[in-house]
Structure 1
Amino acid sequence: MESQQNISTPNTQAKLVVLGAGESGVGAAYLAQQKGFDVFVSDFGPIADKYKAQLKQWNIRFEEQQHTEAEILAATEVVKSPGIPEKAPIIKKLREQKTPVISEIEFAGRYTEAKMICITGSNGKTTTTSLTYHILKNAGLNVGLAGNIGNSFAYQVATESFDHYVLEISSFMLDDMYEFKADIAVLLNITPDHLDRYDYKLENYAASKFRITQNQTEHDYFIYCADDAETLKGLQSRTFGAQLLPFSIEKEIHPGAYLENDNIVINIHQEHFTMSIKDLALQGKHNIYNSMASGIVAKVLELRNESMRESMGNFKNIEHRLEFVAKISGISFINDSKATNVNSTWYALESMTSDVVLILGGVDKGNDYGMLKDLVKQKVKAIVCLGKDNKRIHDAFEDDVEVIVNTFSAQEAAQIAFHLAKKGDTVLLSPACASFDLFKNYEDRGQQFKDAVREL
């Protein structure tokens, strides 16, 4: 346990407590200090050295591996890390005494006049957020990237002066957002994920996702997928202040975006935007949706078609999301370690055009593998399990795949997959599970896989 004493502060200041000292928490603490709050940071776990050094440098008081209740419960307001669940004892006590508990996004949003482009969804949000940022930046806009991705939003609000922000927003963040408003809100899809935080009710999780539209007015935009069943269900029971802009690959839509003869068509202003899906940097059906969503944002902001086409054609995907690693003896190796749920793995398999040796497994969040069965039958010749307990994967696919092998390291998984594949095949790491049984996080899993592939 280490704590750093702040310079003495007058008692007249409002006291802000930040729970969780990761990227978002430390950024929020810095912004709060800049705005004259008395700040205290508390993390129930250990604080990474990088963040500890920053807090010390800024003379912000903090504690780790404990919560000093007297200090925390004296707060005027609390900024909570998205990872801390409502059932945590300290949160219950704060709720009981009606102390406002908000997210970093809510807090930082108070201190910027920038236009907010906010992207949520169960799958594809990091890719769509990154692509949208890429399109806007290449078009010359003064734009920041934050939320679940990149540097802390609060820290950027304190140190930069962007005109626009593209924010990747998770349901956990949305749960603690109240006054914040998205100028452009994007909801990509709603599929079961994190249900343990929502009483195992999909409608509770969906309600969380729809908070992306709260406080919007007729001057704002809500972009959503008209082919997503849960989104459509949610639309029926709600009214929206914003202008609605749906996208679909199944039907023609005006205004919005749709697919016509393998061309994306976006028609929200006088001048239509069209682009062949063959020219998109991101391939696969799910990426047509992601590209449509980003393209609609760009057209709302009246960006030039040529600039959009160029950006949508040259975008490099984020690390650990369908990332090409190498081709060895004619076998392609793809790192999709960021696929920590079944839907993400479904999207990855759906975009494969060759036979696949699939590396699956890890910490199973109550996965229903049934939705993968058809794609596994069509495309997967062997499954390599990477995790401590692979029984549910064996049970799910033993009738569909001839070979299912257990492995306990990224190196072993890569070597066995290489032997099971032949020229023209793809070895796909898309685990559908969290990584904490064998790895620090999905980045560590992806990095170890890439290192192992390069050693083959």
Structure 2
Amino acid sequence: MGRLVILGGGESGIGTALLGKEKGYDVFVSDKGKIKEKYKQVLIHNEIEWEEEKHSEGKILNADVVMKSPGIPDKVPLVKQIRDKGILVVSEIEFASKFTQATIVGITGSNGKTTTASLAHHILKQELNVGLAGNIGDSFAKQVLEEGFENYVLEISSFQLDDIVDFKPHIGVITNITPDHLDRYDYQFEKYIASKFRIAMNQTKDDYLIYDADDEVIVNYLENNPVQSTLLPFSLTKQVENGAYLDDNKIIITINTNQIIMPTTNLTLEGKHNVKNAMAASTVSHLLRIRKQTIRESLESFQGVEHRLEQVLKINKVQYINDSKATNVNATYYALESMDAPTVWIVGGEDKGNNYEELFSFVNEKVKAIICLGVDNDKLMKTFGGMVDFIIETQFMSEAVKIAYKLTEAGDNVLLSPACASFDLFESYEDRGRQFKDAVRNL
């Protein structure tokens, strides 16, 4: 089959290595950092060659195909060298999709993709044999190797879409597009938008693209860059002929005159953005012929996603909420929008060129104190300093939570919704969220 070199020994890298080995490739895994012990053991057990804390060019530039971790930017000199040699560079989803005949639902977007993917999987698994992968859970490649599901719901980032060639989901979903990760796209929003739309790049009229018709960025892009796919928009504000819309607290989904109506009154997820996530997931389910009763019951039983507006504990009548997954301003917008009590807001981390303006009205209306939790908090202090009575900075989660505890009174909320990446102080947004929950439990 040839030589497969994998850059990055994380979940997607190890999964790809196992699948590649099974399919007869000569596999080599190279990680510039340290490989986690559990992954190392898998490589050793499967006799796959690997290296860590370096990239040996001699062992990499003789590849036939390179699978690079989505975390590695194209600007890295090694990646440029690989491309200059004409070696094919692919993402895990591109590589693994070659080895499965399954029906694929691919979900992308700046926000809401994890919730939409988890919710779609929660509904589909009631009646179908279906896996959940991509940016979430076990690696897609590993599941293709070990599980062989007939259907997959994949949460897909723009970075993974940047390295597809033939990948084609039968059903694509774009939840929304707001400025995020612009540091990876030369600070050009257009490039980031085009990257998201790669989800429909290989689709034909027999495939479907589900998207938010209230999102001007998506609508304008589609007008100027038509796709082949059959379009199924969803909207909270206008009626749509084919797709989903909201009418008097009911979701109405129509696909080729086949209509289903779902009440939203018992949705477990709160907030307008979650009605949209429910519309997208229900449209997917309707397309895959899941019974209306199953969809309705699943929407009512879905428990949400960890680190996404997750209610942690109530202490002295103060609600602590973990929204660590809010790694951009738009996600924090949803969080603050859904606050219905005076809020102490914990924000900060690695800023990706954020513009905080859209948050101003919520901060003025709902936020009583701000705790900046980052290595560099200058921008936050300058931006919000004049808007609240208390603005404090810290580099420790335990301290942030203790300060919040002191600043609250009965009926308040404490919200961790950072609007930034976590890598300045934490391993990941999950690590940040868990530290927050531990600190709350230790109060």
Category of TM-score, reference length = shorter chain: over 0.9
Q: Return the letter of the residue paired with 1:223.
A: I
Q: Give the TM-score normalised by structure 1.
A: 0.95
Across the aligned residues of Structure 1 and Structure 2, the Cα RMSD in angstroms comes to 1.1
Matched, 1:134 2:122: yes
Hey, what's the Cα distance between the residues in 2 that align with 1:353 and 1:284? 11
Matched, 1:347 2:334: yes
Aligned-pair CA distance for 1:373: 0.4
Aligned-pair CA distance for 1:407: 2.3
Aligned-pair CA distance for 1:15: 0.9
Matched, 1:33 2:29: no
Aligned-pair CA distance for 1:318: 1.4
Secondary structure of the residue aligned to 1:266 is strand
Hey, what's the Cα distance between the residues in 1 that align with 2:202 and 2:352? 33
Q: Return the letter of the residue paired with 1:292.
A: M
Within 5 Å, which residues of 2 pair with 1:75-114?
75-114=63-102
Given that 1:269 and 1:299 are in contact with CA atoms closer than 8 Å, whether structure 2 keeps it comes out as no
Match of 1:418 among 405, 414, 419: 405
Aligned-pair CA distance for 1:106: 0.4
In the alignment, which residue of structure 1 is the partner of 2:366?
379
Hey, what's the Cα distance between the residues in 1 that align with 2:163 and 2:427? 27
In the alignment, which residue of structure 1 is the partner of 2:271?
284
Secondary structure of the residue aligned to 1:433 is coil
In the alignment, which residue of structure 2 is the partner of 1:117?
105
Which segment is superposed worse, 398-407 or 72-81?
Answer: 398-407
Secondary structure of the residue aligned to 1:388 is coil
Matched, 1:54 2:42: yes
Hey, what's the Cα distance between the residues in 2 that align with 1:273 and 1:411? 48
Secondary structure of the residue aligned to 1:346 is helix
Matched, 1:185 2:188: no
Provide the identity percentage.
Answer: 55
Aligned-pair CA distance for 1:229: 1.2
Given that 1:337 and 1:445 are in contact with CA atoms closer than 8 Å, whether structure 2 keeps it comes out as yes
Secondary structure of the residue aligned to 2:117 is helix
Hey, what's the Cα distance between the residues in 1 that align with 2:93 and 2:123? 23
Match of 2:161 among 149, 174, 181: 174
- Number of aligned positions between the proteins: 443
- CA distance 1:334–1:197, shift in 2 (3 Å): same
Q: Which deviations, in whole Å up to 9, do the C-alpha atoms of 1:41-65 show, x marking residues without a partner? A: 1111111111110000000001111
Matched, 1:299 2:280: no
Hey, what's the Cα distance between the residues in 2 that align with 1:296 and 1:15? 41
Aligned-pair CA distance for 1:294: 0.4
Given that 1:285 and 1:350 are in contact with CA atoms closer than 8 Å, whether structure 2 keeps it comes out as no
Match of 2:322 among 335, 339, 342: 335
Hey, what's the Cα distance between the residues in 1 that align with 2:58 and 2:442? 53
In the alignment, which residue of structure 1 is the partner of 2:377?
390
Matched, 1:313 2:305: no
Hey, what's the Cα distance between the residues in 2 that align with 1:230 and 1:367? 18
Secondary structure of the residue aligned to 2:340 is coil
Match of 1:162 among 127, 133, 149: 149
- CA distance 1:273–1:422, shift in 2 (3 Å): farther
Given that 2:182 and 2:353 are in contact with CA atoms closer than 8 Å, whether structure 1 keeps it comes out as no
Aligned-pair CA distance for 1:391: 1.7
Aligned-pair CA distance for 1:300: 0.7
List, as ranges, runs of 4+ consecutive aligned residues in structure 1 with deviation greater than 3 Å.
none
Hey, what's the Cα distance between the residues in 2 that align with 1:438 and 1:187? 31
Hey, what's the Cα distance between the residues in 1 that align with 2:374 and 2:185? 26
Given that 2:205 and 2:230 are in contact with CA atoms closer than 8 Å, whether structure 1 keeps it comes out as yes
Given that 1:282 and 1:317 are in contact with CA atoms closer than 8 Å, whether structure 2 keeps it comes out as yes
Matched, 1:67 2:47: no
- CA distance 1:37–1:390, shift in 2 (3 Å): same
Aligned-pair CA distance for 1:269: 4.9
For structure 1, list consecutive stretches of 5 or more residues without a partner in the other structure. Answer: 1-12
Hey, what's the Cα distance between the residues in 2 that align with 1:334 and 1:276? 27
Given that 1:410 and 1:449 are in contact with CA atoms closer than 8 Å, whether structure 2 keeps it comes out as yes
Secondary structure of the residue aligned to 2:50 is strand
In the alignment, which residue of structure 2 is the partner of 1:7?
none
Q: Return the letter of the residue paired with 2:179.
A: P
Q: Give the TM-score normalised by structure 2.
A: 0.98
Which segment is superposed worse, 317-326 or 436-445?
Answer: 436-445
Which segment is superposed worse, 412-421 or 264-273?
Answer: 264-273
Hey, what's the Cα distance between the residues in 2 that align with 1:215 and 1:405? 49
Aligned-pair CA distance for 1:99: 0.6
Q: Which deviations, in whole Å up to 9, do the C-alpha atoms of 1:25-75 show, x marking residues without a partner? A: 111011010001111111111111111100000000011111111111111
Given that 1:265 and 1:273 are in contact with CA atoms closer than 8 Å, whether structure 2 keeps it comes out as yes
In the alignment, which residue of structure 1 is the partner of 2:311?
324
Given that 2:183 and 2:353 are in contact with CA atoms closer than 8 Å, whether structure 1 keeps it comes out as no
Hey, what's the Cα distance between the residues in 2 that align with 1:446 and 1:216? 37
Given that 1:15 and 1:77 are in contact with CA atoms closer than 8 Å, whether structure 2 keeps it comes out as yes
Given that 1:116 and 1:164 are in contact with CA atoms closer than 8 Å, whether structure 2 keeps it comes out as yes
Q: Return the letter of the residue paired with 2:360.
A: K
Aligned-pair CA distance for 1:388: 2.4
Hey, what's the Cα distance between the residues in 2 that align with 1:198 and 1:348? 26
Given that 2:174 and 2:196 are in contact with CA atoms closer than 8 Å, whether structure 1 keeps it comes out as yes
Given that 1:174 and 1:211 are in contact with CA atoms closer than 8 Å, whether structure 2 keeps it comes out as yes
Aligned-pair CA distance for 1:274: 2.4
In the alignment, which residue of structure 2 is the partner of 1:6?
none
In the alignment, which residue of structure 2 is the partner of 1:4?
none
Which segment is superposed worse, 234-243 or 285-294?
Answer: 234-243
